Amino acid sequence: MNTEGTGGHAAESTAGHAVEGHAGHAAEGTAGHAVEGIAGHVAADADEHAERFTALRPLLFTIAYEILGSATEADDVLQDGYLRWSRVDLAEVRDTRSYLAKLVTRQALNALRASSRRREDYVGPWLPEPLLLDERDASADAVLAESVSMAMLVVLETLTPDERAVFVLREVFGFEHGEIAAAVGKSVAAVRQTAHRARAHVQARRKRFAPLDTEAERITEQFMAATATGDLDGLLALLAPDAVWTADSGGKATAARKPVVGAAKVAAAVLDIFHKRRTESDLRIETVTCNGAPAIAAYIEGRLEGVFLLVVAAGRITDFYAIRNPDKLIAMTGVHRISRR
């Protein structure tokens, strides 16, 4: 679309002609009033841009985060997106939500394609960044809660960039195929095919999702008690037989570079970190909620060393996602708001 450039060029042209005309044909006072009027109009327009963007920021962040799997990169996309939005002629925008979603999706796809090339050289498993959420978010919206869960984000990593964007926009946010086509640069027919393919792919790989509830909280408490005392039998009773431990360090921290599979092996890895190291070093552990699921944050001398997310299904812990890469822990310093509206 040409609307992104129209607002900026029109404002510059109008301001330039107004100032030149008044300066040539009127007194300085008249020119001053013209400049003040233009400045006031520009300021009001800027306020309108900011108000619309701010109102939709939780939605836009959620779109970018689910496409990228990175809160840090999602924030960067929104910053760049706002700069582009600020130059748009609002008179040409019929649907602000659809327009901004399209703008952010395009920027997120560009960022995802660039990062996909970098991930080819990544050391060890690549996991999405953990996300601290506002307590009001996700819990009352099952679709939103599942869409930002670590288990779902890991599945989304197996899609192509276009499949991921189409799935997120259609299945999570309910955009029409025509709106999605404009966002990803494909025909409506191609988007329908992509949506069908992505949906089938996700359905075949998605795990049973249960929002954070009393059972998950109870199992997390029992897990913390078992690791604190080194209770191997108690820990094994909490793990699914095929439990998996997946660690992401990017080669920047000590962590297994391949997934650990099986309750016995996972229990050994868990006790090594949460019991042995806690007794041998100044390791502080606390429970937090990340991506709508129970998680454990580990600190040494006040510095966040890792975030460990637990996936609970049918009363057992099926997966641990250990994020040790310090670059992926930056977003844990602040709370993000998410939304589907």
**What is the three-state SS of 207-252?**
CCCCCCCHHHHHHHHHHHHHHHHCCHHHHHHHEEEEEEEEEECCCC
Q: For residue range 211-239, list pLDDT tens digits in order.
A: 566 788 899 999 999 999 999 999 999 99
- Topology at the third CATH level for domain 214-333: Nuclear Transport Factor 2; Chain: A, (3.10.450)
Per-residue model confidence (pLDDT) at position 269:
94
Strand (E) positions, 178-331?
A: 239-248, 260-261, 283-290, 293-300, 303-313, 316-323
In angstroms, rounded to a whole number, what is the distance separating the alpha carbons of residues 163 and 184? 10
What's this model's pTM, rounded to 2 decimal places? 0.84
Q: How many CB atoms lie within 10 A of CB 257?
A: 11
Q: Are strands 239-248 and 316-323 parallel, antiparallel or unpaired?
A: parallel
Six-digit token pair at 101?
């979603």
Q: How many CB atoms lie within 10 A of CB 253?
A: 17
pLDDT in tens, the chain (341 residues): 444 444 444 444 444 444 344 444 444 555 455 445 555 555 667 899 999 999 999 999 999 999 999 999 999 999 999 999 999 999 999 999 999 999 999 999 999 999 887 888 899 999 999 999 876 555 578 899 899 999 999 999 999 999 999 999 999 999 999 999 999 999 999 999 999 999 999 999 887 666 566 788 899 999 999 999 999 999 999 999 999 999 999 999 988 899 999 999 999 999 998 988 776 678 899 988 899 888 999 999 889 999 999 998 888 999 999 999 999 999 898 889 999 98
* Side chain identity, residue 259: P
Per-domain residue ranges of the chain: 1-121, 214-333
Q: Which phi and psi (to 5°) does residue 301 adopt?
A: 55, 40
Six-digit token pair at 149?
């869960």
